[in-house]
């Protein structure tokens, strides 16, 4: 992996709150448990995962937000003779575009880049791999500070000798942290 990717992610992490403050945007926190489904060559060894994800988003304009995403997944193996799972941790940055920003309910798109750490059980330390994710979500805002979300994201990261891909589907709760 190139050594400049962690530096770029750190810079983006530090810039995001400043952007939100400059543009007077809201800050939201999302907790999103869900499931992951392996695709491509990754599905030869693993099938489904339990997923635990969290996001912080900073509104930078009407209908646009930038944010941070972290998640942890435990994938089951497809063979019963192998160890039961592989662990994948993720830390990344993203942009969201809400297609109906003034509505209480609507859709949004998300596009981001991440560092992924994949560690099959019984294997030593893992090195981070760079990858990206893209997806769609649906949100319903039940009050000024509370919204429910359903999100589907495709993740793909560069591992040797091929890339690793999986879909994530999560249900979540988003809490507004900004003062009115």
The mean-pLDDT minimum among 3-12, 57-66, 103-112, 153-162 falls in: 3-12
Question: Percent of the chain, pLDDT > 70?
Answer: 76
* Tokens 């690793």, located at residue: 164
Report whether pLDDT(80) > 80. no
Cα–Cα nearest to 110, from 32, 176, 14: 32
User: What is the tally of structural domains in the chain?
Assistant: 1
In the three-class reduction of DSSP (H, G, I as helix; E, B as strand; rest coil), residue 2 is classed as coil
- The reported pLDDT for the residue numbered 169 is 92
pLDDT band at 11; cut points 50, 70, 90: low
The two tokens of residue 4 are: 């400049």
- Using the 8-state DSSP alphabet, how is residue 25 labeled? -
- The reported pLDDT for the residue numbered 79 is 67
Report whether 84 contacts 47 (CB < 8 A). Answer: no
Taking all residues of the chain, what is their mean pLDDT, rounded to a whole number? 80
Pairwise CA distance, residues 170 & 180, whole Å: 28
Look up the domain containing 141 and give its range. Answer: 4-176
Report whether pLDDT(144) > 70. yes
- Calculated CA dihedral for residues 59, 60, 62, 63, nearest 10 degrees: -60
In the three-class reduction of DSSP (H, G, I as helix; E, B as strand; rest coil), residue 4 is classed as helix
Query: Could you tell me the CATH number of the domain that includes residue 117?
Result: 2.40.160.20
Report whether 128 contacts 117 (CB < 8 A). Answer: yes
- The reported pLDDT for the residue numbered 58 is 84
Pairwise CA distance, residues 13 & 167, whole Å: 24
Burial label for 14, CB within 10 Å (0-12, 13-18, 19+), is exposed
- Using the 8-state DSSP alphabet, how is residue 41 labeled? G
Report whether pLDDT(115) > 80. yes
Peptide bond into 170 cis (omega under 30): no
């Amino acid at each position: 992996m190139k050594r400049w990717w962690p530096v770029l992610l750190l810079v983006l992490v530090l810039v995001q709150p400043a952007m939100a403050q400059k543009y007077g945007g809201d800050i939201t926190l999302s907790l999103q448990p869900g499931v992951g489904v392996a695709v491509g060559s990754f599905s030869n060894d693993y099938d489904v995962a339990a997923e635990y994800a969290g996001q912080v988003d900073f509104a930078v304009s009407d209908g646009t937000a930038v944010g941070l995403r972290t998640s942890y997944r435990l994938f089951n193996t497809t063979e019963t003779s192998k160890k039961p799972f592989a662990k994948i941790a993720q830390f990344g940055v993203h942009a969201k575009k809400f297609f109906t920003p003034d509505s209480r309910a609507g859709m949004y798109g998300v596009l981001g880049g991440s560092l992924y750490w994949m560690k099959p059980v019984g294997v030593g330390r893992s090195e981070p791999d760079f990858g990206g994710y893209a997806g769609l979500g649906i949100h319903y805002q039940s009050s000024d500070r509370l919204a429910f979300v359903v999100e589907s994201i495709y993740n793909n990261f560069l591992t040797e000798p091929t890339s690793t891909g999986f879909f994530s589907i999560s249900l979540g709760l988003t809490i507004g942290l900004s003062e009115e």
